[in-house]
Amino acid sequence: MKPLENIPLARHCTMGVGGSARHFLEATDERAVHEAVEWAERRDLLLHVLGGGSNLVVADEGVEGLVLKVGLRGVTERAVGEVVEVTAAAGEPWDDLVRRAVERGWAGLECLSGIPGLVGATPIQNVGAYGQEVSETVTAVRALDRRAGQVVALSPRECGFGYRDSVFKSRMPGRYIVLSVSYRLVLGGAPAAGWADLVKDLERRGIRSPSLVDVRRSVLHIRRSKSMVLDAGDPNRRSCGSFFVNPIVTAADLERIEDRARGESPMPRWPEPGGRVKLSAAWLIERAGFERGHTDGPVGLSSRHTLAIVCHDGARASDVVTFARRVRERVEERFGVLLVPEPVFWGPLSLD
């Protein structure tokens, strides 16, 4: 095994910024993944695992150590009655898997259409949109446990799923390298079509009893209208989607935030388990003084979605972080809410 050296990472990330990887290797089989881990460990080097780069900001200085791009491919399926268990390798494009499920009448992933990235990232981020999360269908995550030095199969409970979170992301980052993910889908199941934006789009199209195909089509339409589908001709394309997660607060916090928001339009909120409430990060950002399309030099907000930070010509990772920090500070000053970034930062980057 011989990794490449000094490979620019900007072209591997949807934001299109960042420096180079000191060492870089793409693994197309599991043996190569094992060898890459051993190669880095023998040299006492950091190991960074790269998927589709759609939820990543790389520092301008680049990263030392080894960047391992997971390129494992393959999809298998097993049907038992009305249940279909689909196992996809970590390097499979996510939306290809969603399209395959929808076309075959397998319910459970339709609202997650159009999300960029690879299968391996879905349990890490607990990807979700329009009322669905992958944690609802994941049955097992097969991963290389770097601490134990062996491949393990983790149950949904062991994955520790939370809102845009998992054991892979926040509690044991770097311990596991996802190799494949298994999902349990329902053959001929009804689509999830209860999210307000989705209902509105279906009504606009005159559809009262939507199929999986109808829901996928509406989700893609909504995402395109917000520049949340990768499109080479879209001026908002250089982003990592939502830059901040929607904050979840206690009832006591909500009362305090509402007091600060007096005089504003009604604040969107959604009930969460344990009496907590999820708020709209986009609403908070807009009421803190940032409009869609707001620019600050070579970076700014998407002209279609306040949650997306967009890079333009000449942008650097440091520009992204500086702008994101300013947005976060303004929201905290206005509402007392500290927004949490959604993408992963590589290198000496921090909003603190």
Active site residue 242: yes
* Rounded alpha-carbon distances, angstroms, from residue 25 to 40, 55, 65: 11, 19, 11
The pair of three-digit structure tokens given for residue 147, joined into one six-digit string: 């601490």
For position 23, what pLDDT does the model report? 98
Three-state DSSP at 12 gives helix
| pTM flag (> 0.85) | yes
Note the pLDDT of residue 231.
Answer: 87
Candidates 242, 286, 302, 316; catalytic one: 242
Show the low-confidence residues of the chain (pLDDT under 70). Answer: none
pLDDT in tens, 276-316: 999 999 999 999 999 999 999 999 999 999 999 999 999 99
List the catalytic residue out of 30, 92, 113, 164.
Answer: 164
Question: Crossing angle for the helix pair 212-225 and 196-204, nearest 10 degrees?
Answer: 100
In the DSSP assignment, the letter for residue 147 is: T
Which among 136, 264, 329, 342 is annotated as catalytic?
Answer: 342
d(CA 108, CA 6): 41
Contact 179, 90 (CB under 8 A): yes
Q: What gap in Å lies between CA 167 and CA 317, rounded to an integer?
A: 27
What sign results for the dihedral spanned by CA atoms 184, 188, 189, 194?
Answer: positive
Tokens of residue 232, six digits: 């080479």
The per-residue pLDDT for 263 is: 85
| Pick from 35, 29, 56, 38: nearest CA to 121 | 56
- The pairing of beta strand 150-154 with beta strand 83-89: unpaired
Q: Please give the pLDDT value at position 337.
A: 97
Domains in the chain, ordered, with CATH?
4-70 (3.30.43.10), 75-191 (3.30.465.10), 248-346 (3.90.78.10)
Q: Please say if 164 is a catalytic residue.
A: yes
